[in-house]
Amino acid sequence: MTELYHLSITEAGELLRQKKISSVELTQAHLERIRAVEPKVKAFTLVTDELALEQAREADKRFARGENLHPLTGIPLAIKDVIATKGIATTCGSRMLENFKPPFDATVMEKLHDAGIVMVGKTNMDEFAMGSSTEHSAFFPTKNPWDLDRAPGGSSGGSAAAVAAGMAMGSYGSDTGGSIRQPASLCNLVGLKPTYGRVSRFGLVAFASSLDQIGPFARNARDAALLLQAIAGHDERDATSSPQSVQDYTGALTGDLKGMRIGVPEEYWVEGTQPGVVSAVKANIERLRELGAEISPVSLPHTKYGVAAYYIIAPAEASANLSRYDGVKYGFSYRDTSEMWEAMEKTREYGFGPEVKRRIMLGTYALSAGYYDAYYKQAEKVRTLITQDFSRAFEQFDALVSPASPTVAFKLGEISDPYQMYLQDVFTIPANLAGICGVSIPGGFSEGLPVGLQLLGNVFKEDTLLKIASAFEAVTDYHKQWPAEL
Protein backbone atom coordinates (compact mmCIF):
# COMPACT_ATOMS: atom_id res chain seq x y z
CA MET A 1 0.00 0.00 0.00
CA THR A 2 1.23 3.46 -0.75
CA GLU A 3 1.78 5.32 2.48
CA LEU A 4 1.28 9.07 2.71
CA TYR A 5 5.01 9.49 3.18
CA HIS A 6 5.61 7.94 -0.25
CA LEU A 7 3.84 10.81 -2.02
CA SER A 8 5.73 13.51 -3.84
CA ILE A 9 5.18 17.14 -2.85
CA THR A 10 3.30 17.66 -6.10
CA GLU A 11 0.97 14.69 -5.44
CA ALA A 12 0.38 15.66 -1.81
CA GLY A 13 -0.35 19.24 -2.86
CA GLU A 14 -3.12 18.03 -5.19
CA LEU A 15 -4.69 15.86 -2.48
CA LEU A 16 -4.57 18.78 -0.03
CA ARG A 17 -6.30 21.06 -2.54
CA GLN A 18 -8.96 18.45 -3.29
CA LYS A 19 -9.43 18.11 0.52
CA LYS A 20 -8.80 14.35 0.22
CA ILE A 21 -6.19 14.63 2.97
CA SER A 22 -5.43 17.27 5.56
CA SER A 23 -2.03 18.68 6.41
CA VAL A 24 -2.47 17.31 9.94
CA GLU A 25 -2.89 13.78 8.52
CA LEU A 26 0.08 14.23 6.23
CA THR A 27 2.20 15.60 9.08
CA GLN A 28 1.14 12.83 11.45
CA ALA A 29 2.13 10.22 8.86
CA HIS A 30 5.60 11.75 8.74
CA LEU A 31 5.90 12.05 12.51
CA GLU A 32 4.93 8.38 12.81
CA ARG A 33 7.50 7.48 10.21
CA ILE A 34 10.06 9.45 12.23
CA ARG A 35 9.12 7.50 15.37
CA ALA A 36 9.50 4.24 13.45
CA VAL A 37 12.79 4.75 11.59
CA GLU A 38 14.63 7.70 13.14
CA PRO A 39 16.13 5.57 15.94
CA LYS A 40 17.97 3.66 13.17
CA VAL A 41 18.73 6.50 10.74
CA LYS A 42 19.46 9.38 13.16
CA ALA A 43 18.89 12.14 10.63
CA PHE A 44 17.65 14.79 13.08
CA THR A 45 19.32 16.86 15.76
CA LEU A 46 15.82 17.97 16.78
CA VAL A 47 12.32 16.79 15.87
CA THR A 48 9.90 19.71 16.18
CA ASP A 49 6.73 17.62 16.40
CA GLU A 50 4.58 20.07 18.36
CA LEU A 51 5.49 22.97 16.12
CA ALA A 52 4.85 20.78 13.06
CA LEU A 53 1.32 19.91 14.18
CA GLU A 54 0.60 23.54 15.02
CA GLN A 55 1.77 24.62 11.57
CA ALA A 56 -0.25 21.80 9.98
CA ARG A 57 -3.42 22.94 11.78
CA GLU A 58 -2.73 26.48 10.59
CA ALA A 59 -2.30 25.23 7.01
CA ASP A 60 -5.58 23.31 7.23
CA LYS A 61 -7.36 26.47 8.36
CA ARG A 62 -5.98 28.28 5.33
CA PHE A 63 -7.15 25.46 3.05
CA ALA A 64 -10.59 25.60 4.68
CA ARG A 65 -10.79 29.34 3.98
CA GLY A 66 -10.00 28.50 0.35
CA GLU A 67 -7.10 30.92 0.20
CA ASN A 68 -4.89 30.95 -2.86
CA LEU A 69 -2.11 28.93 -1.34
CA HIS A 70 1.55 28.35 -2.03
CA PRO A 71 2.54 24.92 -3.46
CA LEU A 72 4.41 24.19 -0.21
CA THR A 73 1.54 25.05 2.16
CA GLY A 74 1.04 22.21 4.63
CA ILE A 75 4.03 20.19 3.33
CA PRO A 76 6.32 18.55 5.94
CA LEU A 77 9.93 19.57 5.35
CA ALA A 78 13.24 19.24 7.22
CA ILE A 79 15.85 21.98 7.64
CA LYS A 80 19.61 21.56 7.96
CA ASP A 81 20.79 22.70 11.36
CA VAL A 82 22.99 25.39 9.82
CA ILE A 83 19.98 27.58 8.94
CA ALA A 84 18.88 29.97 11.70
CA THR A 85 15.42 29.21 13.11
CA LYS A 86 14.05 31.79 15.53
CA GLY A 87 13.84 30.46 19.07
CA ILE A 88 14.71 26.93 17.92
CA ALA A 89 18.14 25.39 18.53
CA THR A 90 20.50 25.84 15.58
CA THR A 91 23.55 23.76 16.49
CA CYS A 92 25.56 23.49 13.24
CA GLY A 93 26.42 19.99 14.48
CA SER A 94 28.77 21.59 17.02
CA ARG A 95 29.17 21.67 20.79
CA MET A 96 29.94 25.34 20.28
CA LEU A 97 26.32 26.07 19.34
CA GLU A 98 24.65 23.18 21.15
CA ASN A 99 22.41 25.53 23.15
CA PHE A 100 22.19 28.41 20.69
CA LYS A 101 18.68 29.62 19.88
CA PRO A 102 18.86 32.34 17.24
CA PRO A 103 16.83 35.47 17.98
CA PHE A 104 15.85 35.69 14.29
CA ASP A 105 14.88 33.56 11.30
CA ALA A 106 17.10 33.18 8.23
CA THR A 107 15.56 34.85 5.16
CA VAL A 108 14.97 31.38 3.74
CA MET A 109 12.96 30.47 6.87
CA GLU A 110 10.90 33.67 6.62
CA LYS A 111 10.03 32.79 3.04
CA LEU A 112 9.16 29.21 3.96
CA HIS A 113 6.97 30.32 6.86
CA ASP A 114 5.17 32.76 4.55
CA ALA A 115 4.62 29.83 2.18
CA GLY A 116 3.07 27.92 5.09
CA ILE A 117 5.40 24.92 5.34
CA VAL A 118 5.37 22.41 8.17
CA MET A 119 8.83 22.06 9.72
CA VAL A 120 9.30 18.55 11.14
CA GLY A 121 12.81 19.13 12.44
CA LYS A 122 16.41 20.27 12.15
CA THR A 123 18.84 17.84 10.53
CA ASN A 124 22.23 16.51 11.50
CA MET A 125 25.37 17.63 9.68
CA ASP A 126 29.14 17.61 9.77
CA GLU A 127 30.25 20.23 12.27
CA PHE A 128 30.01 23.68 10.64
CA ALA A 129 29.35 21.88 7.32
CA MET A 130 32.93 20.59 7.14
CA GLY A 131 32.91 17.04 5.85
CA SER A 132 31.44 14.57 3.37
CA SER A 133 29.93 11.89 5.61
CA THR A 134 28.09 13.52 8.55
CA GLU A 135 30.53 11.59 10.77
CA HIS A 136 32.03 14.92 11.87
CA SER A 137 28.82 15.87 13.69
CA ALA A 138 29.71 16.49 17.34
CA PHE A 139 26.60 14.51 18.34
CA PHE A 140 26.31 11.26 16.33
CA PRO A 141 26.74 10.05 12.75
CA THR A 142 23.69 9.76 10.47
CA LYS A 143 23.13 6.44 8.65
CA ASN A 144 22.34 5.99 4.98
CA PRO A 145 18.76 4.64 4.64
CA TRP A 146 19.95 2.47 1.72
CA ASP A 147 22.39 0.64 4.01
CA LEU A 148 22.55 1.52 7.68
CA ASP A 149 26.25 0.56 7.88
CA ARG A 150 27.06 3.29 5.37
CA ALA A 151 27.34 7.08 5.44
CA PRO A 152 24.65 9.24 3.79
CA GLY A 153 27.33 11.63 2.54
CA GLY A 154 27.74 15.12 3.90
CA SER A 155 27.82 17.63 5.13
CA SER A 156 24.00 17.78 4.64
CA GLY A 157 23.68 14.04 5.37
CA GLY A 158 20.78 14.46 7.79
CA SER A 159 18.71 16.41 5.26
CA ALA A 160 19.35 13.75 2.60
CA ALA A 161 18.65 10.79 4.90
CA ALA A 162 15.41 12.36 6.19
CA VAL A 163 13.97 12.58 2.67
CA ALA A 164 15.34 9.22 1.48
CA ALA A 165 13.76 7.49 4.51
CA GLY A 166 10.35 9.17 4.10
CA MET A 167 10.63 11.30 7.24
CA ALA A 168 10.18 14.55 5.27
CA MET A 169 8.82 15.23 1.77
CA GLY A 170 11.74 17.49 0.97
CA SER A 171 14.48 19.32 2.80
CA TYR A 172 17.04 22.07 2.61
CA GLY A 173 20.81 21.81 2.92
CA SER A 174 23.83 23.96 2.17
CA ASP A 175 26.54 23.37 -0.41
CA THR A 176 30.00 24.94 -0.08
CA GLY A 177 31.93 22.29 -2.01
CA GLY A 178 29.36 19.59 -2.67
CA SER A 179 27.37 19.18 0.54
CA ILE A 180 24.01 19.00 -1.23
CA ARG A 181 24.99 17.16 -4.43
CA GLN A 182 27.18 14.45 -2.87
CA PRO A 183 24.65 13.32 -0.22
CA ALA A 184 21.89 13.49 -2.85
CA SER A 185 24.04 11.18 -4.98
CA LEU A 186 24.60 8.73 -2.12
CA CYS A 187 20.90 8.73 -1.10
CA ASN A 188 19.18 8.63 -4.54
CA LEU A 189 17.75 12.16 -4.44
CA VAL A 190 17.62 15.30 -6.52
CA GLY A 191 19.95 17.77 -4.74
CA LEU A 192 20.47 21.21 -6.24
CA LYS A 193 23.12 23.82 -5.53
CA PRO A 194 21.89 27.15 -6.88
CA THR A 195 24.05 29.77 -8.56
CA TYR A 196 26.01 31.83 -6.02
CA GLY A 197 23.75 34.75 -5.13
CA ARG A 198 20.47 33.10 -6.17
CA VAL A 199 19.43 32.33 -2.58
CA SER A 200 19.96 34.62 0.41
CA ARG A 201 22.67 33.57 2.86
CA PHE A 202 21.22 35.79 5.59
CA GLY A 203 20.86 33.50 8.59
CA LEU A 204 22.93 30.70 7.07
CA VAL A 205 25.73 30.13 9.58
CA ALA A 206 28.84 31.00 7.57
CA PHE A 207 31.44 28.40 6.62
CA ALA A 208 33.08 29.90 3.50
CA SER A 209 31.07 32.95 2.53
CA SER A 210 32.15 33.16 -1.11
CA LEU A 211 31.11 29.53 -1.72
CA ASP A 212 28.09 28.77 0.53
CA GLN A 213 24.59 28.41 -0.96
CA ILE A 214 21.36 26.94 0.43
CA GLY A 215 19.49 24.53 -1.82
CA PRO A 216 16.85 21.77 -1.85
CA PHE A 217 16.73 17.98 -1.63
CA ALA A 218 13.76 16.32 -3.31
CA ARG A 219 12.60 13.01 -4.76
CA ASN A 220 12.03 14.40 -8.24
CA ALA A 221 12.74 17.41 -10.45
CA ARG A 222 9.30 19.01 -10.07
CA ASP A 223 9.51 18.93 -6.28
CA ALA A 224 13.03 20.38 -6.46
CA ALA A 225 11.69 23.17 -8.70
CA LEU A 226 8.98 24.01 -6.14
CA LEU A 227 11.45 23.96 -3.26
CA LEU A 228 13.91 26.21 -5.10
CA GLN A 229 11.21 28.62 -6.27
CA ALA A 230 10.15 29.17 -2.67
CA ILE A 231 13.57 30.40 -1.51
CA ALA A 232 15.14 32.06 -4.57
CA GLY A 233 15.41 35.80 -4.98
CA HIS A 234 17.09 39.00 -3.96
CA ASP A 235 17.51 39.92 -0.31
CA GLU A 236 18.63 43.33 0.88
CA ARG A 237 20.16 41.70 3.94
CA ASP A 238 22.66 39.69 1.85
CA ALA A 239 24.86 42.01 -0.20
CA THR A 240 25.96 39.08 -2.38
CA SER A 241 22.41 38.08 -3.33
CA SER A 242 21.56 38.82 -6.94
CA PRO A 243 18.89 41.28 -8.08
CA GLN A 244 18.41 39.18 -11.24
CA SER A 245 14.76 38.12 -11.58
CA VAL A 246 13.89 34.54 -10.68
CA GLN A 247 12.85 32.15 -13.44
CA ASP A 248 9.71 30.04 -13.49
CA TYR A 249 11.28 26.70 -12.57
CA THR A 250 8.22 24.45 -12.88
CA GLY A 251 7.37 26.18 -16.15
CA ALA A 252 10.74 25.03 -17.50
CA LEU A 253 9.86 21.34 -17.13
CA THR A 254 8.80 20.82 -20.73
CA GLY A 255 10.58 17.52 -21.18
CA ASP A 256 11.98 18.34 -24.60
CA LEU A 257 15.76 18.08 -25.03
CA LYS A 258 15.87 18.44 -28.82
CA GLY A 259 18.86 20.54 -29.80
CA MET A 260 20.13 20.85 -26.23
CA ARG A 261 23.95 20.84 -26.26
CA ILE A 262 25.48 18.87 -23.41
CA GLY A 263 29.23 18.65 -22.82
CA VAL A 264 31.07 15.80 -21.13
CA PRO A 265 34.18 17.17 -19.37
CA GLU A 266 37.14 14.93 -20.26
CA GLU A 267 38.94 15.77 -17.01
CA TYR A 268 36.07 14.35 -14.92
CA TRP A 269 36.95 10.73 -15.72
CA VAL A 270 39.53 10.57 -12.96
CA GLU A 271 41.35 7.59 -11.56
CA GLY A 272 39.74 6.37 -8.38
CA THR A 273 36.19 6.68 -9.67
CA GLN A 274 34.48 3.33 -9.09
CA PRO A 275 33.84 1.32 -12.29
CA GLY A 276 30.16 0.91 -11.34
CA VAL A 277 29.80 4.70 -11.15
CA VAL A 278 31.55 5.18 -14.51
CA SER A 279 29.35 2.64 -16.29
CA ALA A 280 26.10 4.01 -14.80
CA VAL A 281 27.02 7.57 -15.79
CA LYS A 282 28.04 6.51 -19.33
CA ALA A 283 24.69 4.71 -19.74
CA ASN A 284 22.91 7.87 -18.51
CA ILE A 285 24.75 9.98 -21.07
CA GLU A 286 23.45 7.64 -23.79
CA ARG A 287 19.93 8.16 -22.43
CA LEU A 288 20.34 11.92 -22.77
CA ARG A 289 21.49 11.42 -26.34
CA GLU A 290 18.40 9.30 -27.09
CA LEU A 291 16.29 12.14 -25.68
CA GLY A 292 17.61 14.40 -28.44
CA ALA A 293 20.52 16.12 -26.71
CA GLU A 294 23.69 16.69 -28.71
CA ILE A 295 26.48 15.23 -26.61
CA SER A 296 30.17 15.99 -27.15
CA PRO A 297 33.36 16.09 -25.09
CA VAL A 298 34.66 19.33 -23.64
CA SER A 299 37.89 20.19 -21.86
CA LEU A 300 38.06 21.98 -18.50
CA PRO A 301 41.86 21.98 -18.23
CA HIS A 302 42.21 23.39 -14.71
CA THR A 303 39.95 20.83 -13.04
CA LYS A 304 42.85 19.00 -11.42
CA TYR A 305 43.71 22.03 -9.27
CA GLY A 306 40.15 22.45 -7.95
CA VAL A 307 40.39 20.43 -4.75
CA ALA A 308 43.73 22.01 -3.80
CA ALA A 309 42.46 25.55 -4.39
CA TYR A 310 39.25 24.83 -2.46
CA TYR A 311 41.18 23.51 0.55
CA ILE A 312 43.03 26.82 0.75
CA ILE A 313 40.11 29.17 0.06
CA ALA A 314 37.41 27.43 2.14
CA PRO A 315 39.56 27.03 5.28
CA ALA A 316 40.89 30.62 4.87
CA GLU A 317 37.34 31.99 4.90
CA ALA A 318 36.33 29.57 7.66
CA SER A 319 39.20 30.66 9.88
CA ALA A 320 37.94 34.24 9.67
CA ASN A 321 34.24 33.33 10.03
CA LEU A 322 34.81 31.06 13.02
CA SER A 323 36.82 33.65 14.93
CA ARG A 324 33.46 34.94 16.23
CA TYR A 325 33.13 31.88 18.50
CA ASP A 326 35.15 33.27 21.36
CA GLY A 327 32.92 32.37 24.30
CA VAL A 328 31.67 35.94 24.57
CA LYS A 329 29.23 36.55 21.74
CA TYR A 330 27.72 33.16 20.92
CA GLY A 331 27.20 29.71 22.28
CA PHE A 332 29.53 27.69 24.45
CA SER A 333 31.66 29.57 26.96
CA TYR A 334 34.38 28.18 29.22
CA ARG A 335 33.82 29.78 32.62
CA ASP A 336 36.27 28.03 34.93
CA THR A 337 38.79 30.83 34.93
CA SER A 338 38.99 34.57 35.46
CA GLU A 339 41.68 34.90 32.76
CA MET A 340 40.18 36.26 29.53
CA TRP A 341 42.70 34.67 27.16
CA GLU A 342 42.46 31.32 28.89
CA ALA A 343 38.66 31.48 28.69
CA MET A 344 38.81 32.09 24.92
CA GLU A 345 41.40 29.40 24.37
CA LYS A 346 39.52 26.77 26.36
CA THR A 347 36.21 27.76 24.77
CA ARG A 348 37.67 27.00 21.35
CA GLU A 349 39.56 23.94 22.55
CA TYR A 350 36.44 22.27 23.98
CA GLY A 351 33.84 23.81 21.68
CA PHE A 352 35.29 22.76 18.29
CA GLY A 353 35.87 19.22 17.03
CA PRO A 354 39.05 17.99 15.30
CA GLU A 355 38.02 18.65 11.68
CA VAL A 356 37.02 22.23 12.47
CA LYS A 357 40.32 22.82 14.27
CA ARG A 358 42.20 21.36 11.29
CA ARG A 359 40.44 23.82 8.94
CA ILE A 360 41.06 26.81 11.24
CA MET A 361 44.77 25.96 11.39
CA LEU A 362 44.99 25.43 7.62
CA GLY A 363 43.20 28.70 6.95
CA THR A 364 45.14 30.75 9.46
CA TYR A 365 48.40 29.40 8.04
CA ALA A 366 47.38 30.11 4.43
CA LEU A 367 46.49 33.71 5.29
CA SER A 368 49.51 34.48 7.46
CA ALA A 369 52.14 37.00 6.42
CA GLY A 370 54.77 35.34 4.26
CA TYR A 371 52.44 32.55 3.13
CA TYR A 372 49.55 34.60 1.77
CA ASP A 373 51.16 35.00 -1.67
CA ALA A 374 52.32 31.41 -1.85
CA TYR A 375 48.95 29.87 -0.97
CA TYR A 376 45.90 32.11 -0.81
CA LYS A 377 46.79 34.31 -3.78
CA GLN A 378 47.72 31.28 -5.90
CA ALA A 379 44.46 29.59 -4.99
CA GLU A 380 42.48 32.68 -6.00
CA LYS A 381 44.30 32.69 -9.36
CA VAL A 382 43.38 29.04 -9.87
CA ARG A 383 39.81 29.93 -9.01
CA THR A 384 39.77 32.48 -11.83
CA LEU A 385 41.19 29.92 -14.29
CA ILE A 386 38.51 27.39 -13.31
CA THR A 387 35.81 30.03 -13.76
CA GLN A 388 37.21 30.83 -17.22
CA ASP A 389 37.18 27.11 -18.13
CA PHE A 390 33.44 27.04 -17.42
CA SER A 391 32.73 30.35 -19.23
CA ARG A 392 34.40 28.97 -22.34
CA ALA A 393 32.50 25.67 -22.05
CA PHE A 394 29.15 27.44 -21.68
CA GLU A 395 29.76 29.36 -24.93
CA GLN A 396 29.31 25.99 -26.64
CA PHE A 397 27.10 24.04 -24.26
CA ASP A 398 23.82 24.46 -22.38
CA ALA A 399 24.91 22.07 -19.63
CA LEU A 400 27.69 19.68 -18.64
CA VAL A 401 27.28 16.16 -17.32
CA SER A 402 29.49 14.06 -15.01
CA PRO A 403 29.36 11.75 -12.01
CA ALA A 404 28.38 13.62 -8.82
CA SER A 405 30.61 11.53 -6.56
CA PRO A 406 33.46 9.17 -7.42
CA THR A 407 31.95 6.46 -5.22
CA VAL A 408 28.68 5.04 -3.99
CA ALA A 409 27.97 5.31 -0.25
CA PHE A 410 30.99 4.17 1.76
CA LYS A 411 30.96 2.40 5.11
CA LEU A 412 30.85 4.52 8.28
CA GLY A 413 34.43 4.72 9.57
CA GLU A 414 35.85 3.52 6.23
CA ILE A 415 37.52 6.81 5.26
CA SER A 416 39.80 7.87 8.10
CA ASP A 417 42.36 9.86 6.11
CA PRO A 418 41.14 13.49 5.82
CA TYR A 419 42.64 13.83 2.33
CA GLN A 420 40.69 10.80 1.04
CA MET A 421 37.54 12.39 2.45
CA TYR A 422 38.36 15.65 0.66
CA LEU A 423 38.50 13.76 -2.65
CA GLN A 424 34.80 12.89 -2.33
CA ASP A 425 34.12 16.36 -3.70
CA VAL A 426 36.43 16.28 -6.71
CA PHE A 427 33.47 16.65 -9.14
CA THR A 428 31.41 19.11 -7.11
CA ILE A 429 33.99 21.65 -5.89
CA PRO A 430 34.69 23.39 -9.24
CA ALA A 431 31.05 24.59 -9.47
CA ASN A 432 31.33 26.33 -6.10
CA LEU A 433 34.64 27.94 -7.05
CA ALA A 434 33.06 29.27 -10.27
CA GLY A 435 29.70 30.19 -8.68
CA ILE A 436 27.70 28.21 -11.27
CA CYS A 437 24.71 25.96 -10.49
CA GLY A 438 24.69 22.17 -10.29
CA VAL A 439 22.38 19.31 -9.46
CA SER A 440 22.76 15.62 -8.71
CA ILE A 441 19.91 13.41 -9.87
CA PRO A 442 19.23 9.69 -9.39
CA GLY A 443 21.28 7.92 -12.07
CA GLY A 444 20.93 4.22 -11.28
CA PHE A 445 22.59 1.77 -8.95
CA SER A 446 25.89 0.01 -8.48
CA GLU A 447 25.90 -3.01 -6.18
CA GLY A 448 22.48 -1.98 -4.90
CA LEU A 449 23.61 1.53 -3.92
CA PRO A 450 22.55 4.77 -5.63
CA VAL A 451 24.71 6.55 -8.22
CA GLY A 452 24.21 10.28 -8.80
CA LEU A 453 24.39 12.00 -12.17
CA GLN A 454 25.66 15.58 -11.93
CA LEU A 455 24.44 18.28 -14.30
CA LEU A 456 26.23 21.64 -14.27
CA GLY A 457 24.72 24.82 -15.70
CA ASN A 458 25.90 28.36 -16.32
CA VAL A 459 24.98 31.05 -13.80
CA PHE A 460 21.20 31.40 -13.34
CA LYS A 461 20.50 28.38 -15.57
CA GLU A 462 18.79 26.34 -12.87
CA ASP A 463 15.82 26.11 -15.23
CA THR A 464 17.95 24.29 -17.82
CA LEU A 465 19.19 21.78 -15.24
CA LEU A 466 15.67 21.06 -13.98
CA LYS A 467 14.42 20.66 -17.53
CA ILE A 468 17.09 18.05 -18.28
CA ALA A 469 16.41 16.33 -14.95
CA SER A 470 12.68 16.03 -15.62
CA ALA A 471 13.22 14.76 -19.18
CA PHE A 472 15.61 12.13 -17.80
CA GLU A 473 13.09 11.10 -15.13
CA ALA A 474 10.42 10.62 -17.80
CA VAL A 475 12.45 7.74 -19.29
CA THR A 476 13.94 6.25 -16.10
CA ASP A 477 12.52 5.01 -12.83
CA TYR A 478 15.60 5.32 -10.60
CA HIS A 479 14.05 8.25 -8.72
CA LYS A 480 11.02 6.10 -7.86
CA GLN A 481 13.07 3.48 -6.01
CA TRP A 482 12.89 3.33 -2.24
CA PRO A 483 15.37 1.72 0.13
CA ALA A 484 14.24 -1.72 1.30
CA GLU A 485 12.02 -1.45 4.41
CA LEU A 486 14.07 -0.02 7.26
Q: For this structure, is 461 an active site residue?
A: no
Q: What is residue 28's three-state secondary structure?
A: helix
Which whole-number Å values give the CA distances from 153 to 27, 143, 157, 183, 452, in the listed order? 26, 9, 5, 4, 12
Q: Which listed residue (80, 193, 346, 461) is catalytic?
A: 80
- Say how far apart CA 456 and CA 404 lie, in whole Å: 10
> Considering 159, 179, 241, 319, which one is annotated as catalytic?
179
Quick check: is 122 catalytic?
no
Task: Identify the active-site residue in 155, 241, 402, 405.
Answer: 155
Which of 483, 116, 456, 70 is closest to 268 using CA atoms? 456
CB under 6 A: which stretch of 8-16, 129-137, 286-294, 393-401 binds ligand GLN? 129-137
Q: Name which of 151 and 459 has its Cβ closer to ligand GLN.
A: 151
Count of residues making up the chain: 486
- The span from the CA of 117 to the CA of 126, in Å, is 25
44 vs 311, beta carbon nearer ligand GLN: 311
Distance, in Å, from the CA atom of 94 to the CA atom of 71, rounded to the nearest integer, reads 33
As a whole number of Å, the CA-based R_g of the chain is: 21
Contact pattern for ligand GLN over residues 190 through 209, marking x by CB under 6 A: -----------------x--
Instruction: Determine if 178 is a binding residue for ligand GLN (CB under 6 A).
Output: yes
454 counts as binding ligand GLN under rule CB under 6 A: no
Q: Does 317 bind ligand GLN (CB under 6 A)?
A: no
176 binds ligand GLN (CB under 6 A): yes
Q: In the chain, what is the straight-line distance between the N-terminal and C-terminal CA atoms, in Å? A: 16
Assess whether 179 carries a catalytic annotation.
yes
Contact call for residue 425 and ligand GLN (CB under 6 A): yes
Q: Which is nearer to ligand GLN, 126 or 398 (CB)?
A: 126
Handedness of CA 365, 367, 372, 374 (dihedral sign): positive
Indicate whether 132 belongs to the interface with ligand GLN (CB under 6 A).
Answer: yes
In the complex with ligand GLN, the residue whose CB is nearer, 10 or 156, is: 156
Question: Per CB under 6 A, does 175 bind ligand GLN?
Answer: yes
User: Residue 79 interacts with ligand GLN (CB under 6 A)?
Assistant: no
Segment near ligand GLN (CB under 6 A); pick from 57-65, 161-169, 177-185, 395-403:
177-185
Q: Does 179 bind ligand GLN (CB under 6 A)?
A: yes
We find the least distance from the C-beta atom of residue 251 to ligand GLN, in angstroms, to be: 29
Q: How many CB atoms lie within 10 A of CB 271?
A: 5
- Degrees (nearest 5) of the Cα angle 246, 252, 255? 165
Q: Which lies closer to ligand GLN via its Cβ, residue 24 or residue 187?
A: 187
Neighbours of 321 (CB within 10 A): 18
By CB under 6 A, residue 4 contacts ligand GLN: no
3-state helix, strand, coil in the chain (%, to 5): 45, 15, 40
CB of 276 to ligand GLN, least distance (A): 22
Is residue 36 within 8 A of residue 99, CB to CB? The reply is no
If one asks whether residue 131 binds ligand GLN (CB under 6 A), the answer comes out as: yes
DSSP string, 142-164: PPBTTBTTB---SSSHHHHHHHH
Give the binding range for ligand GLN (CB under 6 A) out of 98-106, 123-131, 297-305, 435-443.
123-131
- Closest distance to ligand GLN from the beta carbon of 177 (Å): 3
Q: For the CB of residue 181, give the shortest distance to ligand GLN in the complex, in Å.
A: 9
- E-state strands within 319-473: 399-403, 437-446, 449-457
* Cβ atoms within 10 Å of 470's Cβ, excluding its own: 22
Could you say which of 106, 264, 313, 314 contacts ligand GLN (CB under 6 A)?
314
Question: Would you say 24 or 129 has its CB closer to ligand GLN?
Answer: 129
Site for ligand GLN in 252-281 (CB under 6 A): none
Closest C-alpha among 198, 117, 153, 132 to residue 43 = 153
- Residue 177 within binding range of ligand GLN, rule CB under 6 A: yes
Among 90, 142, 155, 284, binds ligand GLN (CB under 6 A): 155
CB nearer to ligand GLN: give 175 or 398. Answer: 175
Work out which of 106, 129, 138, 356 binds ligand GLN, going by CB under 6 A.
Answer: 129
Nearer to ligand GLN, 301 or 418 (CB): 418
CA distance 468 to 260: 9
Whole-Å CA distances, 296 to 51, 328, 452, 467: 50, 55, 20, 19
Per the CB < 8 A criterion, the answer to whether 78 and 159 are in contact is: yes
Catalytic positions, written as ranges = 80, 155, 179
Could you list the residues that contact ligand GLN (CB under 6 A)? Answer: 129-132, 155, 175-179, 207, 314, 425
